[in-house]
Amino acid sequence: MSQQSKFLQALSEEVQAIPPIWFMRQAGRYLPEYRQLREQAGSFLDLCFNSDLASEVTLQPVRRFDLDAAILFADILLIPHALGQKLSFEAGEGPILDPVISAKDIDLFRTRDVLGPLEAVFETVSKTKAALDEDKALIGFAGAPWTVATYMLAGRSTKDPASLRLRYYQDKEFIIALMDLLVEKTITYLIAQIDAGADAVQLFDTWASGLPWPVLDAVSVGPISKIASAIKKARPGIPIIMFPKGVGEKAGEYAMLPECDGFGIDYAMDPSWARAHLSGHTVVQGGLDPLVVIEGGETMKNAASVYMKLFHDVPHIFNLGHGFTPETPPEHVGELVKFVRGQS
Ligand code: CP3
């Protein structure tokens, strides 16, 4: 009989004495074995498009820490790249997209196929799935349209989100057309990840943070719910996790969507509020500040205990409130996993 992973059990609302554990950015520069393969691959994009190496990098943290789920190694910016926007990752600078898009690009992008250029990503999914033990789940992902759009419009990580907010008021039709384009391409992309073997998918909306509520509804809740309902219709059994960062009490709007199986809380969200207002509607995932893992020891354990105690009687997934940073000592991650599993 096949053994369902603890991660999928939690998403089917099973209460577990020890929650499943995985971490955002669990693969990455804090791991020496990642840095070695990254160097071997050449650039970050070369690594994303080499399915053997990308699959190996996906598996590295699962092996090292015996985590309950792997997350596909790829990036949210592969969609703009596949649409034809030139992308590079500069050391110390993060992503650079060129040229910044305008209204005339949207019609062209609509005609572009994202499946062909991203074939290597689906190969990474199927290779990883084949290599994973059956009690481990594989998570596929994409960026939510607003977050991906911020990079497409600014050409880099947004240092000034105000200018994009203003753009929405000045040029609403353009922003909504861009959201619709990204909704459509993201649905196609995620269904292909599922067909290649992803057991669940997560939508990252990192730059949802700080948007006024009517704008948030238009550019984040709306597009995310469209993607989620299309995926539910096409692939009904696949759980969907939403991670709109920094949305405060607006989290309730996402959590109440019938398509929201899991909701990732960020490190700024009060976990007692999340327990009281979200847990009845969805499975809460994460919350721990990744910086406490840099500090480690009692500071890290005390912070982790808060989540473990608050969510012990509801389905729950242990995770961070945003990704690990490169300074994180891998030994601290090992200690955290042991602590959550009650082994130390
Ligand atoms: O382990 C995993 O989490 C899976 C792979 C993953 C990456 N990026 C790999 C990556 C995932 C899920 C992402 C999501 C992602 N990418 C987000 C949403 C989540 C978040 O962190 O807010 C965003 C905004 C991006 C865009 C992006 N990619 C930025 C801003 C950067 C540069 C910043 C940085 O950390 O270097 C990247 C590069 C990137 N994506 C790296 C990794 C491991 C580092 C690249 C390197 O090795 O040089």
Please, which pLDDT band fits residue 344 given cuts at 50, 70 and 90? low
Strand pairing class (316-317; 283-285): parallel
For residue 166, give every residue at least 6 positions away whose Cβ sits within 8 Å of its Cβ, in sequence order, or none: none
First to last CA, the chain: 32
280: pLDDT strictly greater than 90 = yes
Residue nearest ligand 1's atom 40 by CA:
75
Backbone angles phi, psi at 82, to 5 degrees: -65, -30
- CA-closest candidate to residue 317, choices 27, 5, 3, 58: 5
Q: Indicate which residue's Cα is closest to atom 4 of ligand 1.
A: 73
What would the pLDDT profile of 249-279 be if each residue is shown by its tens digit?
999 999 999 999 999 999 999 999 999 999 9
Compute the distance from residue 92 Cα to the ligand 1 centre, in Å. 13
pLDDT > 70 in the chain, percent:
99
Element spanning 42, H or E: none
Is 325 close to ligand 1, i.e. is its CB under 6 Å away?
no
pLDDT at 317 over 90: yes
Q: For residue 141, list its beta bridge partners.
A: 202
Query: Tokens in use for 165?
Result: 């907010």
Confidence of residue 330 (pLDDT cuts 50, 70, 90): very high
**Selection from 300, 296, 243 nearest residue 274 by Cα:** 243
Query: What proportion of the chain, given as a percentage, has pLDDT over 90?
Result: 93
Residue 200 dihedral angles phi and psi, to the nearest 5°: -160, 165
- Confidence at residue 1, expressed as pLDDT on a 0 to 100 scale: 41
Contact (CB, 8 A) for 76 and 85: no
CB of 76 sitting under 6 A from ligand 1: yes
The per-residue pLDDT for range 191-247, each reduced to its tens digit, is: 999 999 999 999 999 999 989 999 999 999 999 999 999 999 999 999 999 999 999
Q: Of all protein residues, whose CA lies closest to atom 2 belonging to ligand 1?
A: 25
Closest CA to 48 of 126, 147, 118: 118
pLDDT tier, 5 (very low <50, low <70, confident <90, very high otherwise): very high
* 108-137 pLDDT tens trace: 999 999 999 999 999 999 999 999 999 999
User: Would you say residue 2 has pLDDT above 80?
Assistant: no
Instruction: Tell the residue nearest (CA) to atom 44 of ligand 1.
Output: 28
Model confidence at 4, pLDDT cuts 50, 70, 90, reads: confident
Position 92 confidence tier, pLDDT thresholds 50, 70, 90: confident
| Angle separating helix axes 145-154 and 161-170, nearest 10 degrees | 100
* Residue 27 Cβ < 6 Å to ligand 1: yes
Q: What is the mean pLDDT of the chain?
A: 96
- Asked if the model's pLDDT at residue 46 lies above 90, the reply is yes
Provide the β-strand partners of residue 176.
Answer: none
Give tens-digit pLDDT for 165-191: 999 999 999 999 999 999 999 999 999
In sequence order, what are the beta bridge partners of 138? 70
Residue 77 Cα to ligand 1 midpoint, Å, equals 9
Predicted local confidence at residue 131, as pLDDT: 98
For the annotated catalytic residues, the residue numbers are 25, 29, 38, 75, 151
- Are 152 and 185 in contact by the 8 Å Cβ rule? The answer is no
Which domains does the chain possess?
6-343 (3.20.20.210)
Probe target for ligand 1 pocket from 76, 121, 206, 266, with the most ligand atoms within 8 Å of CB:
76
